Structure 1
Amino acid sequence: MTKAPPTSRLVRATALGRLAAGQVLRQAGTKVAGLGRSSEKRQLLLDRRALAAADQLVSVLGGMKGAAMKLGQLLSVLDLDLVPDSSRPEFRRKLAVLLAKAPAVPFSDMRKVAEDDWGAPIAEVFAEFDRNPVAAASIGQVYRARLHDGRAVAVKVQYPGIATAVRADLKNLALFLRLAPNIFPGLEMGSLAEEIRLRIEEELDYRLEAETQHEIAVQYAGHPFIAIPDSVAELCGPQVLVTEFVEGMDFDGIAEQPREVRDRVGEIIYRFYCGSLFHTGDFPGDPHPGNVLLRHDGRVAFLDFGLFKRMSPESIHLERTVLRAAADGDAEQVHARMAAAGILGEPDRIEPDEVLAYIEDAVGWYLADAEIEATPELAAEAMISSIDPRSPHYRKMRWQYLPPEHLFARRAELYAFGLLGRLRARGNWHRIAREWLHGDEPATELGQVDAKWRAGDTPEGYEPR
């Protein structure tokens, strides 16, 4: 157990500063210590330093929660070439603690937040309440409970003072970014910081999340392979979210399943996180391992709707036409549509072929008509192509302006691909995407089942596998 996260801006800035400075000293110490050593011993030293850095990241970022911890969660999903190859799996394993098993805050601290929100003691609200959290994330902690009517529910409670802590993080972000290159050399942190700021701000009001989750649960009610737990509106407040409890295999367990299972779950993840926009005009914006469970009935359950974006029809049309033109290799059309939308701030500074090459590097995994096995390395390359100044596209594409809703769409794609990479899922992602980009008939069994369900005609006798 840890105490509640610090809320003072100075304390939080100091913690981030110590983390950055510690990595600088550690890097310098490694260089000095490596002098005169054999290549094998130098590699061993680098591995030890990298794993020590992971321990420090988990300790500092996990203890701070809020926006600071989101950075650690990103690193646990994507392979960003920050440590030597030999120690990367262990590095990712350590950082994965930040996804669902972050240091927990004592129940006594969390109980006061919940009871203040309900205006009643826990014993009056629930028939049973397990004081041991089942998950601890960046904004809140999740508990299992049972209502008086017998329903099992998940109760997410915000950390005490987290709103103040988040605002302190956002104010300190500029300071952290000046130090960040020492921890994450080569990353352009500005766009990442803005994404984190928007993400956290929308997560703070659990009433908004409860409303959104209910809408999505109704929307997917009866779906043959997607399950969304509904919220319990009367028990939700600004700092407490109560939803149906979902039993299922966690992401690590899914990743150990046979190829057939991993490919199937991968396709469902892709359809949900990337296809939703074109089916319904909105999409969930926070793909990460802690938000995916494989139910015993074969359906995949998706959790956490703190960030859920809705697009205007005009923006969806722009998304579809640009991506369709990119899939067709039409560089002139891609350039023209992005310029007309104001995304290319100075269109004359970049050639059509350069814009197309940038898009292909970022989302080529579903633009290419081929069966592709997603890997952590491919996911990292896609991310780096989008935000790394070392990318060959960076000098030209830095002039683009991507409106927030489109930025969130790219984020969802990149993070979803990160999940597919963790599963090493295989598929012709292009043929699936053509359903919503080109209006093609479904090319897979899941696509056919989904299309019939959306038409109100789920196949007779269909059972999720």
Structure 2
Amino acid sequence: MPTPRRKKSDEAIPTSRVKRAASIGRLAAGAAAREGATRVGNVGRSDEAKSARLSKQQLKTAEQMVDVLGTMKGAAMKVGQVLSFMDVGLVPPEHREEFQAKLSKLRDMAPNVAFKDMRKVIERDLGDKLGNVFAEFDETPIGAASIGQVYRARLHEKPAGWSTDWAAVKVQYPGIDAAVRADLQNLGIILRLARTLAPGLDVQAVGDEIRERTEEELDYELEAANHRRMARLHRNHPFVVIPGVATELCGKHVIVTEFVEGEGFEQWKTKSQEERNRLAEIVFRFYYGGVWRDGQFSADPHPGNSILLADGRVAFIDFGLFHQISREMVENQAQAVRLALARDGDGLLEHLKAINWIPETAGFTPQDAQELAQQLVWFAVEDEDARLSQDHVAKMVFEATDPRSPYWGKTRRATIPAEYLMSIRLAGMAIAVCSQLDASLNYHRIVREWLFDDEVASDLGRQESEWLAQRGRSW
């Protein structure tokens, strides 16, 4: 009899650097060939024709990147998610709608692993049989991520402070740590490919940051500690909920947290304008507020990490990608925003030089510095309601990274230190989430509330201000 073919869900994760580099290498070679062909083919073409040809090349490369990275569990897929942080911007605006459907699958493309293999990870990590730890355990995963799967289970007893005895159990794929480390060794190949899509990418800085953050994300004990820290910081918050953590059931490859039920992001999009505005403000206050208020923040604000509860509060989950920055770094960024909002180009230029965002040799003028800063805070510059769309975010990414942009000659000369990348990435992602809600908010006043101690201008702001007065500052 012929040997039966193994199901894709039961395939072992390749951990060899050579094997995992092969598919990436083929993709990179193809992209390089297309880029070379584009350069040759553009000789004698008009500017309009050159631009159209480059656009098609970027679209083809980006689509193949999604295909290859999406089928890999590990850092390769994680890098793909990081690079798609805006959900737009990897291809020129004229191809964005065409590319959206393909890109949207990237977060969900991690293949399932058979439960018998996942069960071994759970029992080995917790040192006991599944039935001894959980009263019930649903073997069908309720979610999949780049390095693991999430299951729903019921505990024998409800932990103190939890509203339920049901838990979310996140389990790493067996062998994923070796696969991720193989991917990290191949990171240069992936990032060189990404640079064909975003020529302004600082490969060295981004690579170092991804390596450090990805290593941390592999450690679920560290994630549990981050989760507990965020829960403490948001205890009794009026509209933010951080589910509890079952510390005694968390290991290096398993994390058990309070299960929360509610409406996902796709349902948020169907709500009234008023409710979408409210939800966008909660997202903005949670992620941005974490930076300005505490210097500690979840650095992965994609839509799947927020759940609208029945009482109107929003639960935030998944703190594997977590970052902490010093008070000095927070103040450096805050001062840059203050100067940008004040349109003080001279002061801003000197400040950006002092914190090493712009080298002395870059030849920046005060106007250049102001334009660079406004690329980062464009949505908050004017004192008015801003109704952001995904086109706005796409335009921002295009202007910052595409060589056809009028700002390209300026932004490519900036040298923002790598340690700031996560908070800047967070800012872009949070705004991208708000844009998907088609929300209308006065971001300017919220930012001034944080950075200038202005009077709060919204009901949510007043609720949070009262809560913060009781909690106190974390530093």
Q: Normalized against structure 2, the TM-score is what?
A: 0.84
State the match for 2:162 in structure 1.
none
Q: 2: CA distance between counterparts of 1:342 and 1:175?
A: 28
The answer on 1:207 being equivalent to 2:221 is yes
Task: Find 2:387's aligned residue among 373, 386, 390.
Answer: 373
Q: Cα offset for 1:264?
A: 0.8
Residue 132 of structure 2 aligns to which amino acid in structure 1? E
Q: 1:299 to 1:93 in 2, by over 3 A?
A: farther
Alignment partner, residue 411 of structure 1: 425
Equivalences for residues 119-268 of structure 1 within 5 A: 119-150=127-158, 151-180=165-194, 184=197, 186=199, 188=201, 190=203, 191-268=205-282
Deviations 1:129-158 (A, max 9, x none): 111111111121111111111511111111
Equivalent residue for 2:3?
A: none
CA contact (8 A) 1:117 1:237 kept: yes
Q: 1:104 to 1:342 in 2, by over 3 A?
A: same
**Which residue of structure 1 aligns with residue 104 of structure 2?**
96
Question: Could you tell me how far 1:185 is from its partner in structure 2?
Answer: 6.2
How far, CA to CA, are the matches of 1:143 and 1:250 in structure 2? 17
How far is 1:299 from its partner? 0.8
Opposite residue 417 of structure 1, the aligned amino acid is: I
Letter of the structure 2 residue corresponding to residue 78 of structure 1? D
Who is 1:40 aligned against? none
1:74-115 CA-to-partner distances (Å, cap 9, x unmatched) read: 437421262784x74463233323324632222122222222
Q: What is the CA-CA distance between 1:343 and the residue it aligns to? A: 2.7
Alignment of 1:314-325 (within 5 A): 314-325=328-339
Q: How big is the alpha-carbon RMSD for the aligned residues of Structure 1 and Structure 2?
A: 2.9
Q: For the Cα contact (< 8 Å) 1:375–1:424, is it kept in 2?
A: yes
What letter corresponds to residue 70 of structure 1 in structure 2?
Answer: K
Question: Which whole-Å deviations, capped at 9, do the CAs of 1:325-377 have from their partners, x for residues lacking one?
Answer: 11111111111122222332226621121011011023211222221111111
Which of 298, 315, 325 is residue 311 of structure 1 equivalent to? 325
Aligned residue number for residue 82 of structure 1 = 91
**Pair 1:186–1:121, CA change in 2 (3 A):** same
Tell me, yes or no, if the aligned pair for 2:28 and 2:193 is still in contact at 8 Å: yes
SS in 2 for 1:329: coil
Partner of residue 65, structure 1: 73
Paired residues for 1:295-444 under 5 Å: 295-346=309-360, 349-444=363-458
Identity %: 44
Summarize the Cα distance change of 1:122–1:164 in structure 2 as closer, same or farther, 3 Å threshold.
same
Find the aligned partners of 2:364 and 2:397 in 1 and give their Cα distance: 21
2:179 alignment partner AA: A
Normalised TM-score (structure 1)? 0.86
Q: Which runs of 5+ in 2 are unaligned?
A: 1-7, 42-51, 159-164
Q: Which amino acid aligns with 2:130?
A: I
Q: 1-side partners of 2:400 and 2:61: how far apart?
A: 29
Aligned to 1:461: none
Report how many aligned residue pairs link the two structures: 440
Q: Identify if the C-alpha distance between structure 1 residues 25 and 136 changes in structure 2 by more than 3 Å, giving closer, same or farther.
A: farther
Write the distance in 2 (CA, Å) between the matches of 1:438 and 1:241.
Answer: 39
Alpha-carbon distance change, 425 to 10 in structure 1, aligned in 2, over 3 angstroms: same
C-alpha distance in structure 1 between counterparts of 2:188 and 2:60, whole Å: 27
Equivalents in 1 of 2:22, 2:59: separation in Å? 22
Deviation at 1:390, TM superposition (A): 4.1
* 1:53–1:282 CA distance, 2 compared to 1 (3 A): closer
The code of the aligned residue for 2:131 comes to A
Change (3 A) 1:282 1:52: closer
SS in 2 for 1:127: strand
Q: Cα 1:343–1:270, aligned 2, differ >3 Å: closer, same or farther?
A: same
Following TM superposition, by how much is the alpha carbon of 1:247 offset from its aligned partner in structure 2, in angstroms? Answer: 0.8
Moved more, 304-313 or 67-76: 67-76
2:236 is paired with a residue whose SS is: coil
Tell me the CA shift for residue 382 of structure 1.
Answer: 2.3
Counterpart-to-counterpart distance in 2, 1:348 and 1:71: 29
**Contact persistence 2:150–2:170 (CA under 8 A):** yes
Aligned-partner residue type, residue 168 of structure 1: A
Give the 3 Å change call, closer, same or farther, for CA 82–386 of structure 1 in structure 2. Answer: closer
- The more displaced of 337-346 and 255-264 is 337-346
Q: Which moved more, 1:417-426 or 1:391-400?
A: 391-400
- Determine if contact 2:290/2:296 at 8 Å carries over to the other structure: yes
Kindly provide the CA deviation profile for residues 404-432 of structure 1, in whole angstroms up to 9, marking residues without a partner as x: 34221111000111111211111111111
Find the aligned partners of 2:34 and 2:139 in 1 and give their Cα distance: 39
**1:311 CA drift (Å):** 2.1
Deviations for 1:236-269, whole angstroms, at most 9, x for unmatched residues?
1111111111111111111222211211111111
Change in Cα spacing, 1:16 to 1:254, as seen in structure 2 (3 Å) is same
Amino acid at match of 1:12: R
Amino acid corresponding to residue 201 of structure 2 in structure 1: E
Give me the whole-angstrom Cα distance separating, in 1, the residues matched to 2:324 and 2:190.
Answer: 31
CA contact (8 A) 1:354 1:393 kept: no
2-structure distance, mates of 1:78, 1:386: 15
Question: Unmatched 5+ residue regions in structure 1?
Answer: 33-42, 458-465
Conservation of the 8 A alpha-carbon contact between 1:343 and 1:402: yes
